Structure 1
Amino acid sequence: MDTPGDVLFARYAFPPNELGYCGPDDPDVLLRHATAAGGTDGGPADEIARRARLFDGAWVYLELIAAAAGITDPLDARVVEAYWIGNDLLDAVDPDVFLSTLRQRFAGQLGGPVAHRWRAMPHAHALAHHSFHVFAVYPWTGLLAVRSATALSVLDSCRIRWGTVTGVDGARVRVRSRPLDWDGRRLRLGADRVESVRWSTGPDFTDPAIRHPPAPGDLVACHWDWVCDRLTAAQLAQLATRTEHQLRAAGG
């Protein structure tokens, strides 16, 4: 893939960082460095790498994927793509090692419904993919029965969504995608809807995470209220397959 791994990480990590959910303070630094980095040695690339290590959740996955693939840099583009989108590097991660590592790193988050899901989930269903963290490690899946509207909104925003751009409105685009649906028993993808998502933070639209405005027909990945990147058809297929896998594992 053409995008350097540090830039790719920043594009996908910026939205929850901006909301204060993970990572260090001053999220605009991450986005600004993503625009300037371009894989250069030192400067922006080093700052992204420093900040990436402060994302307690994502960094563990990146380390595990890199180690299993024999790649020394957790911010290698193939590793970053595997975590956020999905690729064949995920299949090299031993599920036993993966789950054992997460239980050690996230021991404080494993109470109640989260611990139950992990105990009940066959190890073969555990992937070192962002969707696993959303549907298995975060507590929101376990809260669907009691706080369904809030939990469903958080899960849908936090996962990496995919869709097709249908129009551009300044710093926002309209994207046709399939939201999560909860019928009281199963979590699954629902019918198509059109949502409005930002692609830029600047009033003159000159500092996007992706350098040029998305255009109608583009396939894009979204995280919270943010267009992270354009997707190829192969990447979209990977993202959809890995997400569906974790939805089934979570009882969807």
Structure 2
Amino acid sequence: MSARGAVLFARYAYPPNELGYCGPADSGALLRPADPEGIERGARQFDGAWCYLEFLAETAGLDDPLDERVVEAYWIGNDLGDRADPAALLARMRHRFRGQLGGTWREAANRALAHHSFQVFEVYPWAGLLRTPGRPTALSVLDRCRIRTGVVQSVTGESAAVDCRPLVWTGTTLAPGPLRRENVRWSAGGRSLLAGLVPGDLVALHWDWVCDVLTEAQAVRVQSTEARRITAVTGGALAAISDAGVRSAAVAPVR
């Protein structure tokens, strides 16, 4: 089992686990990088994510679902995920997620993707609920549950001010909203999986948590993968980034 892969998984999985949405009862176990075996035990309790990790590892001929390449493929995206067969993934999901209500994933034969954005926008029912009157929670959950990018403006103790663009619902499509500064955490009770943050860092966010410091290529991958997913599900106005100006793109409309 890859210790680096286990820690990478924990960086992204901790915030929903802390909120009680998925994973083990003891979310603090994910903030113990010196105990990768404990992180692995916790990771196996993420029923959704673990399904994708197992599938990606098998597709790549790897025997470790927490191989760093596998974990990156799920949360961020890489060529390992690109090579996975959508039909094979869908067959696996029909078995693993039978009884899962809502979502568009059963009809996603050609676009199923072992990536967190697929789970958020197609397996969960929230995207479909955007068009249902009286469902204001749907947009908020989609925005917070997705992996989104931003740029650190300042760091104070265990918190950081990060500029990013939230999703907005126009009534017919999803699109990037006006620039917003969010106060998020990168450490809890003196425990963190990051060495630290500095202004200017390009980061990945999940709920109210800074998961990782990204390269420009990784940020492009996160944004472009989400853009394709939103377009497929809602006909949204997001489109893939093709230029190298990702530090400004992280806080500007995706074009």
Cα-Cα RMSD = 1.6
**Given that residues 125 and 245 in structure 1 are in contact (C-alpha distance below 8 angstroms), is that contact kept between their aligned partners in structure 2?**
no
Residue 250 of structure 2: aligned partner:
none
Partner-residue secondary structure (3-state), 1:216: coil
Which amino acid counterpart does residue 50 of structure 2 have in structure 1?
W
Specify which of 172, 194, 198 is matched with residue 185 of structure 2: 198
- 1:179 matched to 2:170? The reply is no
- 1:105 matched to 2:130? The reply is no
Residue 191 of structure 2: aligned partner:
207
Residue 176 of structure 2: aligned partner:
189
Which amino acid counterpart does residue 78 of structure 2 have in structure 1?
N
- 1:156 matched to 2:143? The reply is yes
TM-score by length of 1: 0.88
Which amino acid counterpart does residue 243 of structure 1 have in structure 2?
E
**Given that residues 158 and 223 in structure 1 are in contact (C-alpha distance below 8 angstroms), is that contact kept between their aligned partners in structure 2?**
yes
**Given that residues 197 and 227 in structure 1 are in contact (C-alpha distance below 8 angstroms), is that contact kept between their aligned partners in structure 2?**
yes
In 1, distance between residues paired with 2:106 and 2:62?
A: 30
- The structural deviation recorded for 1:189 is 2.4
Partner-residue secondary structure (3-state), 1:195: strand
Of stretches 14-23 and 162-171 in structure 1, the one that deviates more from structure 2 is 162-171
Q: What's the CA shift string for 1:173-208, capped at 9, x where partnerless?
A: 111111111111112322322111111112xxx422
Residue 128 of structure 2: aligned partner:
142
TM-score by length of 2: 0.87
Q: What's the CA shift string for 1:90-130, capped at 9, x where partnerless?
A: 11110001111112111111x3x42xx23544x33221100
Specify which of 207, 214, 223 is matched with residue 231 of structure 1: 214
Residue 127 of structure 1: aligned partner:
113
Q: What's the CA shift string for 1:1-21, capped at 9, x where partnerless?
A: x98100000111100000010
* Structure 2 alignment gaps of length 5 or more: 237-255
What does 1:1-252 correspond to in 2, within 5 Å? 4-31=4-31, 33-34=32-33, 36=34, 44-109=35-100, 111=101, 113-114=102-103, 117-121=104-108, 123-146=109-132, 147-202=134-189, 206-212=190-196, 214-251=197-234, 252=236
Partner-residue secondary structure (3-state), 1:62: helix
In 2, distance between residues paired with 1:141 and 1:165?
A: 28
Q: Identity percentage over the alignment?
A: 55
In 1, distance between residues paired with 2:126 and 2:175?
A: 14
Which amino acid counterpart does residue 137 of structure 2 have in structure 1?
T
Q: Which structure has more helix as a fraction of its residues? A: 1
* Structure 1 alignment gaps of length 5 or more: 37-43
Which amino acid counterpart does residue 147 of structure 2 have in structure 1?
I
In 2, distance between residues paired with 1:166 and 1:21?
A: 29
